[in-house]
């Protein structure tokens, strides 16, 4: 498999590789894939006032999967939660010049973004609830 | 040391320059058709073919008349399976093989199944070996052929062929052996192994691509085959078509060199392989050898690197030619069926790399490869969510994954 320059660059110099503490305030975590399928992606966002101020990833998968998640973290930073939900795997395919057999790696990245956003929203909701409950009426 | 480094010698090997030298005259001056009986051009070509046939027969302790030239091991395997089944269909309709054969055998067997032939695919143990007792127990009065490889192309595991040969003889069942990875690398003697048919190919032993052979026993028993290619009746009628004389001559030369150099070469490749194995496995945690510790081809090393995916690893060492059992490198997106048959989990099958040390591998290349592999594995583990979870003490087997 011949890789595009951009995939190679992300592989050699992964952007925003690492982890946040899952229970940190404003952090949403998405883990998708399975070891048996040969790909697991962990994507995390850190949100302040509805804006993603930071993002991190860790990926077990081929070079295209690593590049897709690395690119996703770059794109996520600075976006609002709603804007982030608009990122499409086809944009990743285009940016990284992924061949057809590697499209599923970009789909996984889109799924990871969605999972991280959902996790953030769920946490924000329950945090909101507990805050409300804590405030005496 | 020159880059890139070739360390994929199970896939193919470079032609030895001495083989190329032997072939060259047969393209230009000695271009005759070896089947032309009426002039010196034909005789000259025939002489080249005869000599090659003799070298090849000698290497495996066969008679020159028992060597049928084909286009390669794939054709030899197909001819053995389909030719025997067609010829002996009155006697029975059952074939025994293993689940870790090369696709040339598995797919030929599958195609026979579509025509109503019954095929038993025997399991292998953790190290990749078939149990001769399983072979014995699988034989019925309808069994006409056993087909088991000498050494596996992914894990290098060597099967107990001589034991199976004895069983086949005792039960009067023909025995075909795909010896493609073993011939030229380890001693192979068709009498001692008790095989009736044997497939092998030139390009795995520093010869040219596009030429292989099928050994077909002529005595005790005399094996008959229905041809797959009809025509001028070449190769005792079993494989028609004008012989590619330069390729045949190259095959012969390659075999001659293997016969001369095997004692020294197998020791050297094994030492390099052992150094590679120790260098990598000694420096990294959670790396697992696939295949048999000792009953293994001298140049073979197949390792799974937990928590990293094989194709990503190959990408990290792209100046070294290797191969992986990962689904990501395969067209089917399924991880290696050979590793799965050993009971290796899908996760570790995705993490496997095959190294093939060969005649032209140098100690410098081995040291370089060790160093690069360690760095690449560490780089990827740093990036791996699975490694992180394992380090946190999470048992990955208990995690609920969204399997897709
Ligand atoms: C065990 C085995 N059998 C058969 C083959 C096919 O050989 P050929 O390429 O000569 O058709 C190979 C080569 O990959 C092999 O390793
Ligand atoms: S992770 Fe398997 S092809 Fe990308």
Domain boundary among B233, B257, B281: B257
User: Ligand 1 test: best mutation among B181, B200, B205, B299, most atoms within 8 Å of CB?
Assistant: B181
Domain boundary among B221, B242, B257: B257
Number of C-alpha atoms within 13 angstroms, CB side, residue A126? 9
Convert the pLDDT of each residue in A97-132 to its tens digit: 999 989 999 999 999 999 999 999 999 888 765 544
The question of whether B328 is a catalytic residue gets the answer yes
Residue B403: band (very low, low, confident or very high) from pLDDT cuts 50, 70, 90: low
Is residue A71 within 8 A of residue A92, CB to CB? The reply is yes
Is residue B383 within 8 A of residue A17, CB to CB? The reply is yes
Domain boundary among B257, B289, B312: B257
Q: Under an 8 A CB cutoff, do A60 and B384 touch?
A: yes
Shortest-distance atom of ligand 2 to CA B326: 2
Shortest-distance atom of ligand 1 to CA B149: 1
* pTM metric for this prediction: 0.93
Tell me, yes or no, whether B180 and B60 share the same domain. yes
Tell me, yes or no, whether B93 and B224 share the same domain. yes
- Phi first, then psi, for residue A34 (nearest 5°) are -150, 145
* Helix (H) or strand (E) run with residue B354 in it: strand B352-356
Ligand 1 neighbours by CB, cut-off 6 Å: B 72-74, 77, 102, 104, 149, 153, 178, 180-181, 201, 212
* pLDDT of residue B208 exceeding 50: yes
Shortest-distance atom of ligand 1 to CA B77: 4
Is residue B404 included in any domain, yes or no? no
Is residue B347 included in any domain, yes or no? yes
SS3 B218: coil
pLDDT along chain A (137 residues), means of 10: 89 96 93 90 96 97 96 97 96 96 94 97 78 46
Q: Under an 8 A CB cutoff, do A41 and B385 touch?
A: yes
Residues B169-173 have a mean pLDDT of: 98
Higher pLDDT, B333 or B71: B71
Is residue A41 included in any domain, yes or no? yes
Residue B303 to residues B91, B182, B287, B351, B391, Cα–Cα distance (Å) = 43, 20, 7, 8, 21
- Per-residue HEC secondary structure of B3-45 comes to CCEECECCCCCCCCHHHHHHHHHHCCCCCCCCCCCCCHHHHHH
pLDDT of residue A129: 59
Q: Which of A56, A80, A68, A77 is nearest to A110 (CA)?
A: A68
- Neighboring chain B residues of A41 at a CB cutoff of 8 Å: 385
The question of whether A62 is a catalytic residue gets the answer no
Tell me, yes or no, whether B235 and B270 share the same domain. no
Number of domains in chain B: 2
pLDDT of residue A134: 45
Is residue A132 included in any domain, yes or no? no
Q: Say what the alpha-carbon torsion angle A7, A75, B351, B1 is, to the nearest 10 degrees.
A: 30
* pLDDT of residue B365 exceeding 90: yes
- Phi first, then psi, for residue B190 (nearest 5°) are -65, -25
Is residue B291 included in any domain, yes or no? yes
Tell me, yes or no, whether B177 and B282 share the same domain. no
CATH classification at residue A26: 3.90.1010.10
Pick among B385, B387, B392 to test the A interface (most A CBs inside 10 A): B385
Tell me, yes or no, whether B188 and B326 share the same domain. no
Tell me, yes or no, whether B276 and B312 share the same domain. yes
Is residue B308 included in any domain, yes or no? yes
Q: Closest-CA residue in chain B for A101?
A: B331
Residues B271-276 have a mean pLDDT of: 98
Q: What is the spatial distance between Cα A94 and Cα A12, in angstroms, rounded to a whole number?
A: 20
Query: Of A27, A47, A105, A108, which one is the catalytic site residue?
Result: A105
Is residue A99 included in any domain, yes or no? yes
Closest Cβ–Cβ partner in A35, A41, A65 for B396: A35
Convert the pLDDT of each residue in B43-68 to its tens digit: 999 999 999 999 999 999 999 999 99
Q: What is the spatial distance between Cα B186 and Cα B198, in angstroms, rounded to a whole number?
A: 15
Q: What is the ipTM of this complex?
A: 0.90
Is the minimum distance from the CB of B328 to ligand 2 under 6 angstroms?
yes
Number of domains in chain A: 1
Is residue B151 within 8 A of residue B181, CB to CB? The reply is yes
- Neighboring chain B residues of A62 at a CB cutoff of 8 Å: 309, 311-312, 315, 326, 328
Is residue A137 included in any domain, yes or no? no
Is residue B68 included in any domain, yes or no? yes
pLDDT above 70 covers a percentage of chain B that reads: 98
Q: What is the spatial distance between Cα B45 and Cα B49, in angstroms, rounded to a whole number?
A: 6
Cα B354 to its chain centre, rounded Å, is: 13
Residue A70 to residues A6, A44, A55, A106, B6, Cα–Cα distance (Å) = 11, 11, 10, 11, 31
Q: Closest-CA residue in chain B for A8?
A: B315
Q: Under an 8 A CB cutoff, do A62 and B328 touch?
A: yes
Tell me the ligand closest to B202's alpha carbon: 1
Q: Closest-CA residue in chain B for A29?
A: B385
Please work out, in degrees rounded to the nearest 5, the angle formed at the alpha carbon of residue B178 by the alpha carbons of B173 and B184.
130
B300: which 2 tokens? 């073979």
Distance, CA A70 to ligand 1 centroid (Å)? 39
Residue A88 to residues A57, A60, A103, A126, B355, Cα–Cα distance (Å) = 17, 21, 12, 28, 38
Tell me, yes or no, whether B348 and B248 share the same domain. no
Name B182's Cβ contacts closer than 8 Å, sequence gap at least 6.
Answer: B150, B151, B158, B188, B200, B297
Distance, CA A34 to ligand 2 centroid (Å)? 11
Higher pLDDT, A41 or B327: A41
Tell me, yes or no, whether B303 and B379 share the same domain. yes
Tell me, yes or no, whether B150 and B230 share the same domain. yes
- Neighboring chain A residues of B307 at a CB cutoff of 8 Å: 60
The alpha carbon of residue B404 is apart from the nearest alpha carbon of chain A, in Å, by 7
Cis upstream peptide for B350 (omega within 30°): no
Measured CB to CB, residues of chain B less than 8 Å from chain A are 307-309, 311-312, 315-316, 326-329, 331, 333, 335, 345-347, 350, 382-388, 396, 401-404
Tell me, yes or no, whether B209 and B303 share the same domain. no
For residue B350, the enclosing domain spans: 5-9+263-398
CATH classification at residue B302: 3.90.1150.10
For residue A46, the enclosing domain spans: 5-123
Is residue A130 included in any domain, yes or no? no
Q: Under an 8 A CB cutoff, do B401 and A59 touch?
A: no
What does DSSP assign to residue B186?
B
Tell me, yes or no, whether B247 and B121 share the same domain. yes
Query: Of A34, A37, A53, A101, which one is the catalytic site residue?
Result: A37
Is residue B403 included in any domain, yes or no? no
Tell me, yes or no, whether B340 and B393 share the same domain. yes
Convert the pLDDT of each residue in B91-119 to its tens digit: 999 999 999 999 999 999 999 999 999 99
Q: Under an 8 A CB cutoff, do A40 and B386 touch?
A: yes
């Amino acid at each position: 498999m011949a890789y595009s320059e951009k995939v190679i660059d992300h592989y050699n110099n992964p952007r925003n590789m690492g982890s946040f503490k899952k229970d940190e305030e404003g952090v949403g975590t998405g883990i998708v894939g399975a070891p048996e399928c040969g790909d697991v992606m962990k994507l995390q966002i850190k949100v302040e006032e509805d804006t993603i101020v930071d993002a991190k990833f860790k990926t077990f998968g081929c070079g295209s999967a690593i590049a897709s998640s690395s690119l996703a973290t770059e794109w996520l930073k600075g976006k609002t939660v709603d804007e982030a939900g608009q990122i499409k795997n086809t944009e990743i395919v285009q940016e990284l010049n992924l061949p057809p057999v590697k499209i599923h790696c970009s789909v996984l990245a889109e799924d990871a973004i969605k999972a991280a956003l959902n996790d953030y929203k769920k946490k924000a909701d329950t945090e909101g609830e507990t805050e409300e409950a804590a405030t005496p009426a | 040391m020159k880059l890139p480094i070739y360390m994929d010698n199970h896939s193919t090997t470079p032609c030895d320059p001495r083989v190329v030298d032997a072939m060259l005259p047969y393209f230009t001056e000695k271009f005759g058709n070896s089947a032309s009986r009426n002039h010196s051009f034909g005789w000259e070509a025939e002489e080249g073919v005869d000599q090659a046939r003799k070298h090849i027969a000698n290497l495996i302790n066969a008679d020159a008349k028992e060597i049928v030239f084909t286009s390669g091991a794939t054709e030899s395997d197909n001819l053995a399976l389909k030719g025997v089944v067609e010829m002996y269909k009155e006697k029975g309709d059952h074939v025994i093989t293993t689940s870790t054969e090369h696709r040339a055998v598995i797919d030929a067997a599958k195609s026979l199944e579509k025509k109503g032939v019954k095929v038993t695919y025997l399991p292998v143990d953790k190290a990749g070996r078939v149990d001769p007792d399983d072979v014995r127990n699988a034989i019925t009065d309808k069994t006409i052929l056993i087909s088991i490889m000498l050494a596996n192309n992914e894990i290098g595991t060597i099967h107990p062929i001589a034991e199976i040969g004895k069983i086949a003889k005792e039960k009067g069942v023909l025995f075909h052996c795909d010896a493609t990875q073993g011939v030229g690398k380890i001693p192979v003697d068709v009498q001692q192994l008790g095989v009736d048919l044997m497939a092998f190919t030139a390009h795995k032993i520093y010869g040219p691509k596009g030429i292989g052979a099928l050994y077909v026993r002529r005595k005790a028993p005399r094996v008959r085959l229905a041809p797959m290619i009809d025509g001028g009746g070449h190769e005792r009628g079993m494989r028609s078509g004008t012989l590619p004389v330069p390729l045949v001559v190259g095959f012969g030369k390659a075999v001659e060199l293997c016969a001369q150099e095997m004692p020294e070469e197998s020791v050297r490749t094994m030492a390099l392989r052992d150094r590679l194995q120790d260098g990598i496995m000694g420096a990294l945690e959670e790396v697992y050898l696939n295949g048999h510790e000792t009953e293994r081809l001298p140049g073979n090393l197949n390792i799974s690197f937990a928590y990293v995916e094989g194709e990503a690893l190959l990408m990290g060492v792209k100046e070294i030619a290797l191969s992986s059992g990962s689904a990501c490198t395969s067209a089917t997106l399924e991880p290696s069926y050979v590793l799965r048959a050993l009971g290796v989990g899908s996760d570790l099958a995705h993490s496997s790399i095959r190294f093939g040390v060969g005649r032209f591998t140098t100690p410098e290349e081995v040291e370089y490869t060790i160093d690069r592999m360690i760095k690449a594995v560490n780089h990827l583990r740093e990036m791996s969510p699975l490694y992180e979870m394992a380090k946190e003490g999470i048992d990955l087997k208990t995690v609920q994954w969204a399997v897709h």
